[in-house]
Chains A and B, each alone.
Chain A
Amino acid sequence: MTGPHGVGIGWRPEIAGFVAELPGLRFVEVIAESVPAAGPPPDALVELRQRGVTVVPHGVRLSLGGAEPVEPARVAHLAAVAELVAAPLVSEHIAFVRAGGLEAGHLLPLPRTREAVDVVCANVARAQADLPVPIALEPIAALFDWPDDELDEAAFLSEILARTDALLLLDIANVHANAVNRGTDPLALLDRLPLERVAYVHVAGGAEQGGFYHDTHTDPVPAPVLDLLTELCERHRPPAVLLERDGRYPPAPDLRAELDAVAAATGFPLVT
């Protein structure tokens, strides 16, 4: 089983037919929590596997940044899905999604403090102990920051990666979103991240609303995000890049054009 390579797309049931007909596709992600641990995976995903398409389980509910220890049952589920699809790696976020018995319903940012670095590293170590494959960690798009940040984004992420031996899942749309919303330079962040640790890259659409850039996954990928993807590849081209779309699915020609734009921005072969 090879690692992710080339241009991929986030597999979702709503676009399973579209994804099945992409002739050059070699890489998809599946939301880990959407696959039952006892299997079987959705038929369309099994057919992609039989074609030799790499399937990476992408977790969204592990809450690796939660102050409480990561729940072993959630790690066991992610591990089971990795086995079911013979995944070469899994991915999750540097974020928390619940606290005090309440679900946030989305990925929330951590304070960029030494304490939070310790929390994440401890949870990643717990997860790694029970996962059959390596894990890649994805920094999120945050609409707000905590008031007591001690580290900047690059230092925070580099410290976590150095201490956990995890791979990096770099979401270039999140880099764009955070730079816009914080008024920082996205290229300065790229220059300081360990790009050789990138397992693959996410790219997704978003939109401005109420003075903030929202990483919606339901809008087209804007030109500045594609430009940033090209800037990334000029520094160090990652092995793979994956388009995420999570609703308001456009007509197939529009989605194909978006995959082609991602291929053009990265120099990877067309998959359409």
Chain B
Amino acid sequence: MSASPADGTDPTGDRPATPDIHRPPSGSLAARQAELVAALVAGGPPPPGFAPAPLAAARAALLRKRAGEVARHWPLLAAGLAPHWPATFIEWAADRPSVGGLRDGWDLARALHARHALPALGAEELAVREAAYRYDGDAAPRRRRRPAVGRAGGAVAVQLAGRVRLLRTAR
């Protein structure tokens, strides 16, 4: 995934400025900062002139830091994937900009669930979260007001009056 023009980035970087109020002039500091961030967190092309190895090291360090943040929000998911966490997260996140540790982990857990690769601990954590919160994959999760059931990989969690219980563990 690369950054869209709406993000204010211009992947080519060296074209003349276009009269677009949403896009900073190509070659300006704003445009170059946007290109750099897109290259580091969104799979954008490396900006011209930067030494590749240090940039790659920075990109890897950012992903490791993100993996740590997601693991704090999703400790069972990370533990269930060990020793392949953080590699699993980093592979999934490499071209996805962060939407915060909670949502990053949620999106990853759903993606793993969809391809039957979610470990039991992660499935139980996901089921509990799905029972407690409404999350549409786009906006911040919101606490459910009505009773709800969350299911993932055989795990079943139920939420009643704000209290969540895991009814059945994952297989």
Question: Which residues of A are in contact with B by a Cβ distance under 8 Å?
Answer: 66-68, 96, 98-106, 108, 111, 115-116, 119, 143-148, 181, 210-212, 214, 247
Contact = CB atoms under 8 A, between A and B. Distances in A.
A99 B36 contact: yes
A-B pairs with lowest CB-CB distance, top 7: A100-B34, A147-B49, A144-B54, A67-B30, A99-B33, A100-B8, A143-B58
B61 A143 contact: yes
Given A67-B28, A111-B29, A102 B34 contact: yes
B7 A102 contact: yes
Nearest to A144: B54
Interface of B: 3, 6-9, 24, 28-38, 40-42, 48-51, 53-55, 57-58, 60-62, 65-66, 68-69, 97-98
Contact of A144 (B42, B50, B98): B50
Given A67-B24, A99-B36, A106-B65, A146 B50 contact: yes
Contact of B33 (A66, A106, A148): A66
A66, A68, A99, A146: residue with the most chain B Cβ atoms closer than 10 Å: A99
A119 B49 CA distance: 22
B41 to A, nearest CB: 6
A98 B37 contact: yes
Contacts of B37: 98-100, 102-104, 108
Nearest to A210: B57
Contacts of A247: 68
Residue among A101, A102, A144 with most chain B CB within 10 A: A102
Given A100-B37, A101-B8, A105-B98, A143 B54 contact: yes
B65 A101 contact: no
A191 B54 CA distance: 27
B38 A212 contact: no
A188 B109 CA distance: 49
Given A102-B42, A103-B41, A105-B66, A143 B34 contact: no
A102 to B, nearest CB: 5
A147 B55 CA distance: 12
A144 B51 contact: yes
A102 B57 contact: no
Contacts of B35: 100
B29 A104 contact: no
Given A98-B37, A101-B34, 15 more contacts: A67-B33, A99-B34, A100-B35, A102-B7, A104-B37, A104-B40, A104-B41, A105-B65, A105-B69, A108-B40, A108-B58, A111-B32, A143-B54, A143-B58, A148-B49
Contacts of A98: 37
Nearest to B6: A101
Nearest to B54: A144
A181 B60 CA distance: 16
Contacts of B32: 111
Contacts of A212: 54, 57
B163 to A, nearest CB: 24
Contacts of B55: 144
A164 B115 CA distance: 54
A181 to B, nearest CB: 7
Contacts of A145: 51, 54
Contacts of A104: 37, 40-41, 62
B29 A116 contact: yes
Contacts of A148: 49
Contact of B97 (A102, A111, A210): A102
B33 A96 contact: yes
Contacts of A101: 3, 6-8, 34
A68 B57 contact: no
Contacts of B65: 105-106
A67 B24 CA distance: 10
